[in-house]
A and B are shown apart, each in its own frame.
Chain A
Amino acid sequence: MQDCMRVKGLRKNFKGFSLEDVSFRVPRGCVVGFIGENGAGKSTTIKSILGLVNADAGEIEVFGKRMREIGREEKNRIGTVLGETCLPENLNLKDLDGIMKYIFTNWDSEKYFQCADRFCLPLDKKIKDFSRGMRQKVSLAVALSHKAELLILDEPTAGLDPVARDEIIDLLYDFMQDEAHSILISSHILSDLEKLCDYILFIHDGRIIFEEEKDMLTEKYGVLKCTEERLRELDPKSVVGFHRGEFGVSALVKLDLVPRSFVTEKAGIEDIMLYFIRGERI
């Protein structure tokens, strides 16, 4: 499968935090969910990809070209929603349309107003008077209205109620109806990602832990509930991490390394993330 985006050996050092050798890919036609706790490096990675942060090392390729070599027209093929609303709050949606046609070479006013209509966004109200959910919807409407082929979304559903989140997920589904389209989306709301994503990219403490197909993750990992003594019978390599509970332990295990006599439950993305980050090691 052709890659829409490829990141290789990305490094960025800040005081007290660094991205270490971040490498991953976003295959064309796929949705990659970017997960990790707060401060793990998701936003820094996204900002580095978009050129907002000057990376210390690494290569970023988008649409088969090095990011630093692509021009404005090609960069316009990337739609972005950054963590916070990044639009002029003193303006209304009509004003914004007048400005965006000069910012984006392929600006589609019709599509923009369709999105606004679908999200029930008032055209004459200033953005500063919008709720957080409405602002996120405006950002998404802009991202979807310049014929983008790749969406890079940093926490697009953060702080939204379930209805608003569902509307946004629906819109992303629609976007993915075109096979040439791809999405890299970071979110803390893992249930949203479970619905939408083909791949899961997990970052912890500035390092990529894994990039796996979502369906493979559930085949690869399981949750084992047993006593601590029984857990210790397992090969330590098979246990990612475990939590002690009142009645024993629960552990995230690698299913291919666990004997069949151990009964496991299905592991969700949230389980996987929690055991990787907070689980005790054998």
Chain B
Amino acid sequence: MKGLLLKNFKNILPTIAYYAFFMLVFYVVAILSENIVMFTSVSVVLAISVPTSAYVMDEKDNWDKFVLAAGVTRGQLVRSRYLFAVLCLIPLWILSLVLIFILPSGVRAENVIIFLLFDGVELIMTSLLLPLEHKYGADKSRIVLLLLVVIAVFACVMLGTLLHEKIMSIGMTVWLAAGVLLAGIAAMCASMAITVKICAKKDY
């Protein structure tokens, strides 16, 4: 597992550097505009782009064939990809949390809702994307990736409207956002189990 993760990070380092710069720009914009959404919405794109890029590289390099022939099990390979995806999310979550605390507006319920909601969305998107990539390959899954981003943005805007129009109380919206996060965690677990099954049947 350590070798697989290390390979992913080393392999993707130039791409991560590019994304990190991109994120830094939006982080500064979020601070200046005092709007956490400027950062969290971009982090959704990053959350799915980095694992996808890593998968694309593995596909191009025929890495799966090599490690499976080397004695790594299909389950370990899949688990390493999910762990890598989560490890990429953690810095984004930490940065979002820091943003909540450093914004002049302070810790507000709206920001907590956005934080929980976007984290959940990132997990759900990742859990939808990884099985598709393993089943159909990165190329075919790219269209789905775009579709997922559109759906996620639409869902977040809808929730924002509910909140803004006070159709739902803040308390309820916090619970709803927390529910999305929990759904994301559950989706990741279910997705990993599905991907392991997909890979067990796959011929490399």
- Spell out A's residues near B (CB within 8 Å): 47, 50-54, 71-76, 78, 80, 82, 84-91, 95, 98-104, 152
Contacts and interface: CB of A to CB of B under 8 A. Distances in A.
A240 B171 CA distance: 85
19 contacts: A47-B65, A47-B204, A51-B69, A52-B65, A52-B203, A54-B201, A75-B70, A80-B66, A82-B65, A84-B62, A86-B65, A86-B66, A88-B61, A89-B60, A90-B11, A90-B14, A99-B6, A99-B7, A152-B69
Nearest to B66: A86
Nearest to B2: A102
Contacts of A85: 61-62
Contacts of A53: 203-204
A176 to B, nearest CB: 21
A89 B59 CA distance: 11
Contacts of A74: 71
A77 to B, nearest CB: 9
B150 to A, nearest CB: 30
Given A82-B65, A82-B66, A88 B72 contact: no
Given A90-B57, A95-B10, 17 more contacts: A51-B68, A52-B65, A52-B204, A72-B71, A74-B71, A80-B66, A80-B70, A82-B69, A85-B61, A86-B63, A86-B69, A87-B61, A87-B63, A88-B7, A88-B10, A99-B3, A103-B3
Q: Per DSSP, are chain B's interface residues mostly helix, strand or loop, or mixed?
A: helix
A101 B3 CA distance: 8
A102 B6 contact: yes
A174 B118 CA distance: 58
A103 B70 contact: yes
B67 interface: yes
B69 A52 contact: yes
A122 B100 CA distance: 48
Contact of B61 (A54, A76, A89): A89
Given A53-B204, A85-B62, A90-B57, A76 B69 contact: no
Contacts of B60: 89
A104 B71 CA distance: 8
Given A53-B203, A54-B203, A87 B10 contact: no
A112 B123 CA distance: 40
Contacts of A103: 3-4, 67, 70, 72
Q: 5 tightest A-B contacts by CB?
A: A102-B3, A75-B71, A86-B66, A72-B71, A86-B62
Nearest to B13: A90
B64 to A, nearest CB: 8
Contacts of B201: 54
A84 B65 CA distance: 10
Interface string B9-52: 01110100000000000000000000000000000000000000
